[in-house]
């Protein structure tokens, strides 16, 4: 019961500031044109620097702000610096 209440609280607190990659996979509108850049997955992270602003490039596990900007590209890198995901937020 406590775990369910905690989960509900976290989901409520999360609001629009949470990661939306699941929403995008479910067919949510591509507000930042991330689909156009999926070919860069597997490339060196420096390839993401040429993408249009607003964008943020970060390694998975790095601290990032929780503000949600549907126009911003999120370029996520693995521990080797390769692009593993590009989405909006």
Short-list 45, 46, 28, 44, CA closest to 87: 28
- Give me the pLDDT at residue 24, please: 45
pTM over 0.75: no
Q: Residue 88, SS3?
A: strand
The per-residue pLDDT for range 28-78, each reduced to its tens digit, is: 689 999 999 999 999 999 999 999 999 999 999 999 999 999 999 999 999
- Give me the pLDDT at residue 13, please: 41
Question: What value does the mean pLDDT take over residues 7-19?
Answer: 42
């Amino acid at each position: 019961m406590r775990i369910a209440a905690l989960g509900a609280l976290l989901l409520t607190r999360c609001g629009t500031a949470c990661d939306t990659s699941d929403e995008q996979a479910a067919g949510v509108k591509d507000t930042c044109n991330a689909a156009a850049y999926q070919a860069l997955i597997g490339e060196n992270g420096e390839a993401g620097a040429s993408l249009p602003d607003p964008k943020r490039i970060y390694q998975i596990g790095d601290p990032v702000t929780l503000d949600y900007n549907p126009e911003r590209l999120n370029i996520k890198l693995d521990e080797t610096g390769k692009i593993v995901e590009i989405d909006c937020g």
